[in-house]
Amino acid sequence: MHTFRWLYIVVLAGVVASCKTAIPPQQSPAEPEVPTLVQIGDKTFSPDAFFQSFTKNRFSADSAQSLSARQYFDIYTNTKLKLLGAEAQGRDTTSDFKEEIASYREQLAAPYLTDKERVAELTEEAYNRLKQEVHAAHILVAVPEEALPADTLSAYRAAVAMRGRLLEGSDFGDMAQKFSKDATAKDNKGDLGYFTAFQMVYPFENAAYTTPVGQISEPVRTKFGYHLIKVLDRRPTRGKRRVAHVMIQVKPDFPAEKKKEAEQRIRDAYARLEKGEPWDKVVQVYSDDFQSRQSGGLLPAFGVGEMMPAFEAAAYGLDKVGDYSKPVETPYGWHIIRLVEKRPLESFATMEPSLRQKVMTDSRGHLMERDFIERLKKEYTIQENPDAWSEMLELADSSLLKGTLKIPETFTAAVENPMLFTIEKEASSSRMFLDYVKSHLVARPAGSDPKIVLRSYYNDFLARRLLDYEKSILETKYPEFKVLMNEIRDGVLLSQVMEEQVWQRSLDDSTGQRRLYEQNLEQYQYPARALATVIQAKDTTVLNQVLESLAQVPYVLRLKGEELLFEQGKTQLSPLQTNTLYSLAATLKKNQEYVVEVAGYRTADEADTVSASRISHAVRYLNSQGIPITRIMEKDYGSFRPVPEPDRNRRVSFQFFSRSKKDLERAMNRDAPGNVRITEGYFAKDHPLFKEALWEVGDQRIPAALDGSVLAIQIQKIEPPRPKTFNEARGSVINAYQKILEKQWLDSLKTRFPVQVNEKELEKLTR
């Protein structure tokens, strides 16, 4: 019920927010008397009010059929009765009700507190920038956001002077290495490589995308200081890449000998790939990346600037899917990279929702919020109290930079409580401001000025209070928001009172359920039914495959576990192999219908007992992880069934089976969705699937349908008609009981709130 209510709200909120308009209050002329359609108790409802509701809700909840005005009038009247009953109980004044409404209002108010046109503009701009990648270098003159004006000015002048030297011919890289406060500049001479939208703070990104190639920007202010940006190149996006890798880990503290061993291992792995060994096998044997090893070394898709430069260069240097690189060294170790997929930039329509979310939450979001606050400052009358602010400034000392606020004992209540500012005569006190500061304290970087830091807190507090004020008057400023909140109010109120009067009562009253069942036994009957399995397949070939699989229980699935490979004569499990078995056990725990076949193999020159011993070690580990022996099938193939790759003849393999026909269905549909559908259960004779079937026990095939699909029906037994047991009928009984309880409740409400219908007005609406 809560989910339904939330979905209802989301739909309404989207419709209303898409057409929001602020309408100023107007003096309206005297209006003619509004006729009454229906009076319920002492409340009257007009034909217009009914017609608006009818137009919006004319389709019944359980049908696409349109209701007539006369049919909807009964629903409308009953709904108003229930709401009057809920209000009479005081339900709309409870804390639970108010909290729920406040929660919905908070979410629905959000679109009214942003500039939709600006969001759309920045979203489109971001997409256009994603079409290009910028190669830039920078020099940072560091200065905190909240430094003294003199320090900020000094940093700006230093940046301007440095730009002058660069324009006169000084080398940008050398200058970056000598003067930039970016810690990486000593190694990269300020070169940031290629990047695209959302990878830099917005002011920096703006300058990088608007400065011509080869030129140097004016000083650009960010929270880090002033930047000089030189644009080195600009190119079309290369999209994203999906790769897999073999990784040999090398930590910085590895001794030289261990680093040399790691390099030799990656070269061995590369040599085996060059000899034609399967990629997945090389990953399993060599890769130290445990997370990706289970999926053939597969990594999430990435774009420019998201990986280490050497890794990125090698990945983008691969041309064809399936190609792999030579060994590549990064600070994390050695890699062999294999191209899995090239992903071009998606269309704007596809990316727009995620881009809009990014635009609203990255540094652009702060810019838009600041602009919105500036607009509110112009819209509303704000009066600030300079004397109260002067008193506040006495608290600005060095402790504020450490994220603490010291309030001296001499700071009396008389000083704490005066009005700090008003927004449209709504006051905010010094005490409120101090509480805000205490709850938002954050340490500031060295060089920040306490007074400017306190002023930042003040600006933030004023912004919060402006947003709170704007939020508080949305119903007045936006009439459609008021309509929406009234609908939400009624929906929540109706849901809560229905929960109490009907839904929960029908579930709790087992005696009433049983009495209704026994009094109406003839309504709860099963017709003649067949217990059957129905297999629908896209063609005869697929149907034959399914029937063949169904002939043996458990059913074999197109699902295998990762193999365990052993060295000559070895049977003990390595840490890597126990990790593989741990993942296998997790899969078995996730689906209790799965059964696994553990098959052991050996080479002809190994002892006869080796393959059985390998199976035993694997099974014992699975048992230790809580997998019972009843879900494990052991198969010792010895030296039979050899495969071309010699190493794989010393293995333990895993084949999954299942006792569930639905698992078999999923396996058959994995590569071709819609291949087959398996349905088990009881079917009445008039069921659409049984239209051409013989009503008798046994297996039968139904001729191909118009779409080419074929049908097989396996009928296990046919049951004659019989009454449903109480448990079988309980769902239908509860549904019927709810209707009875609702009718009784409505009858009592009609006694309390008499309904008087203006038949003439109703006749006009129902013509």
pLDDT (tens digit, 9 = 90+) per residue, 88-127? 999 999 999 999 999 999 999 988 998 889 999 999 999 9
Query: Before 554, cis peptide (omega within 30)?
Result: yes
Q: Looking at the DSSP assignment, which residues form a beta bridge with residue 330?
A: 333
453: tokens are: 């830091």
Give the mean pLDDT of 238-249: 95
Predicted pLDDT of residue 667: 85
Q: How far apart are CA 194 and CA 309, in angstroms?
A: 10
User: Helix, strand, or coil here: 283?
Assistant: helix
Task: Give the total residue count for the chain.
Answer: 767
Q: Look up residue 4 and give its two tokens.
A: 């339904």
Which residues, 6+ apart, have CB-to-CB distance to 169 below 8 Å?
Answer: none
Nearest partner of 241 among 313, 295, 330, judged by Cα: 313
How far is residue 299's CA from residue 320's CA, in Å, rounded to a whole number?
Answer: 17
pLDDT in the model for residue 670: 80
Is residue 527 over pLDDT 70? yes
Is 20's pLDDT higher than 60?
no
Strand partners, 676: 537
Give the HSE-up count for residue 453: Cα atoms under 13 Å, Cβ half-sphere. 25
CA distance linking residue 641 with residue 602, whole number of Å: 10
Region 397-408: mean pLDDT is 89
Q: Which residues contact 40 (CB under 8 A, 6 or more apart)?
A: 77, 80, 81, 84, 753, 754, 755, 756
Q: Which residues of 293-316 are buried (b: 16+ CB within 10 A; e: fewer)?
A: bbebbbbeebbbbebeeebbebbb
CB 163, CB 218: distance < 8 Å: yes
**What number is the average pLDDT over the span 153-172?**
96
Please classify residue 564 by burial: count the beta carbons closer than 10 Å to its beta carbon, then call 0-12 exposed, 13-18 middle and 19+ buried: buried
- Tell me how many helices (H) and strands (E) the chain has: 29, 23
8 Å CB contact between 373 and 463: yes
Q: Which residues contact residue 2 at a Cβ distance below 8 angstroms, ignoring those fewer than 6 apart?
A: none
Q: What integer best gives the mean pLDDT of the chain?
A: 90
| Angle (deg, nearest 10), helices 149-167 and 172-179 | 150
Which stretch of DSSP H or E encloses residue 248? Answer: strand 240-249
Average pLDDT (465-469) is 96
What are the chain's domains?
132-236 (3.10.50.40), 240-343 (3.10.50.40), 380-472 (no CATH), 530-719 (3.30.1330.60)
Whether the Cβ atoms of residue 112 and residue 376 lie closer than 8 Å to each other: no
Please check whether residue 304 is in contact with residue 194, taking contact to mean a CB–CB distance below 8 angstroms. yes
pLDDT in tens, 630-679: 999 999 999 888 877 777 889 999 999 999 999 999 888 887 888 899 99
pLDDT at 462: 97
The model's confidence at residue 740, banded by pLDDT at 50, 70 and 90, is very high
pLDDT exceeds cutoff 60 at 15: no
pLDDT tens track for 494-507: 999 999 999 999 99
The pLDDT tens digits for 724-735 are 999 999 999 999
Averaged pLDDT, 210-238 = 96
Reply yes or no on whether the pLDDT at 13 is more than 60: no
Contact indicator for 717, 697 with CB cutoff of 8 Å = yes
Q: Rounded to an integer, what distance in angstroms lies between the CA atom of residue 173 and that of residue 189?
A: 5
Q: Within its chain, how far is the Cα of 65 from the centroid?
A: 35
584-598, 633-647, 753-767, range with the lowest pLDDT: 633-647
Place of tokens 């013989």: 694
Q: How confident is the model at residue 703 (pLDDT cuts 50, 70, 90)?
A: confident
Question: Above 90 in pLDDT, residue 39?
Answer: yes
Greatest mean pLDDT among 271-280, 513-522, 545-554, 633-642 lies in 513-522
Q: Is 1 helix (H, G, I), strand (E, B) or coil?
A: coil
Collapsing DSSP to helix, strand or coil, 631 comes out as: helix
Strand partners, 531: 682, 717
Mean pLDDT of 50-64: 72
What's the distance, CA 243 to chain centroid? 24
pLDDT in tens, 251-288: 989 999 999 999 999 999 999 999 988 898 899 899 99
